[in-house]
Structure 1
Amino acid sequence: MVASILDDGLASDMNEFWVFGYGSLMWNPGFAFEERAHARAFGFRRSLCVRSYVHRGTPEQPGLVLGLDRGGSCRGVAFRVNERDREEVLDYLRRRELVTNVYKEKLLPLTLTDGRQVRAVGYVVDREHVQYAGALSIEDAALTVRSSAGQSGPNDAYVFNTLAHLKQMGIRDLWLESVGQAVAAPAA
């Protein structure tokens, strides 16, 4: 079992159980929820900074997936989960998000679009992990995305799907949009 801050009892004072999604969890949570709300996490930003060895790449040819990295703020989606489903949802999220332990499970303060302040489980990139790619140039990120595929499919499909859903939700991510344009451009 993966140790997390939630195992330390820090989640026991949560009046409600919320989960924060900033990437594929936004449109494909994979668990039942009672409420879905747009939310913002401060102090973190969405970043294509995780080398994917499983879902969108391999150890020999890593892809790139999103991580919640420090700095700025990140608009995403908060899901309120029924208390009786808490353990089942945490189990599911840990199997999905902690495959290689490149993420750390955290309780994040969020502001919902209606002004409510909640704390939610979120997965923040571990900057010390070997899969942390750090800040990449648009060109380097596009080259990696264009040439990678893993168990969940081609890396470019992940980026294009993410961008389509962000646009649908009214969320702009200029850097990621630039990576998408570079991936879509004909190779020189």
Structure 2
Amino acid sequence: MTFFDVVADPGEEMTYTVFGYGSLIFKPPPHVISEVHGFLKGYVRRFAQKSHDHRGTPDKPGRVVTLIHKEEWNAFSGLDAFPDEDIVWGIAYTIDPAYEKEVRDYLDYREKDGYTLETVDVWGLNAKGEESITLHGVRCYVGRNDNPSFIGSEPLDALAQKIWESGGPSGPNKEYLYNLVEAVRKLAPESHDSHLYALER
């Protein structure tokens, strides 16, 4: 499927579309009728969110990714030396309208540990390699930096150790990392995501 398999008319009311940048890439929501591969602008993807319910436990939370606005991350991430060239690639899933409420409820429960819905534009590349917005008004679950599960920037070695040793009802935390890295590489082999690749190493 190409970046432009689904391109919404900006003036047209969209069906429910949600952007996955973490586990939704390798474990999509149900009742998907189409998908668009693309990327976001103005965000970084970081393992900056505690996981008490999926890849950790309440007493030993693991770590999962969230999106943070670049300017906010730069303001308090003195421990993070990764470049601004990193690109947040992911998948925008359009849900069958007949199952919209069911999927919304499913995702609200799945992303309940500190995530909030935001609206984003999804970008893609045309045949000439030029960037343009392919989807407007896409919903996206973001762990904002004021939510109780936000952990912020940690030293890479400490973060890697936490991911290595943690686990929860959805499986080992390191499995989450490896699945995400593999999915992002397949999604956009040319993309830069130095944070993910450094943790993998």
Q: TM range, normalised to the smaller chain? A: 0.7 to 0.9
Distance 2:101 2:179 in 1: 29
User: How many residues were matched structurally?
Assistant: 167
Determine if the alignment matches structure 1 residue 24 to structure 2 residue 23.
yes
- The one-letter code matched in structure 1 to 2:103 is V
Among 131, 135, 156, the alignment partner of 1:138 is 156
Residue aligning to 1:175: 195
Asked if 1 retains the 8 angstrom alpha-carbon contact of 2:89 and 2:184, the reply is no
Q: For 1:147 and 1:125, how far apart are their aligned partners in 2?
A: 22
TM value normalised by structure 2: 0.76
Structure 1 residue corresponding to 2:105, chosen from 86, 91, 96: 91
Q: Distance in 2 between matches of 1:113 and 1:93?
A: 28
Equivalent AA in structure 1 for residue 146 of structure 2: E
CA RMSD across the alignment? 1.8
TM-score, structure 1 as length reference: 0.81
Displacement, 1:65? 0.6
Once the 2 structures are TM-superposed, how far is the Cα of residue 159 of structure 1 from its aligned partner? 0.7
Higher relative contact order by CA 8 Å / sep ≥ 6: 1 or 2?
2
Deviations 1:82-104 (A, max 9, x none): 22222121111111111x3x111
Tell me what 1:39 maps to. Answer: 38
8 Å CA contact retained: 2:68, 2:142? yes
Shift of 1:53: 1.0
Q: Equivalent residue for 1:156?
A: 174
Corresponding position of 1:110? 122
- Output the amino acid matched with 1:130: P
Distance 1:94 1:163, change over 3 A: same
* Cα distance, 1:112 vs structure 2: 3.7
Query: Which is worse superposed, 133-142 or 79-88?
Result: 79-88
**Partner secondary structure for residue 140 of structure 2:** strand
Identity %: 27
Given that 2:67 and 2:143 are in contact with CA atoms closer than 8 Å, whether structure 1 keeps it comes out as yes
AA partner of residue 65 (structure 1): V
**What SS class does the counterpart of residue 130 from structure 1 fall into?**
coil
In the alignment, the residues of structure 2 paired with residue 112 and residue 92 of structure 1 have an alpha-carbon distance, to the nearest angstrom, of 27
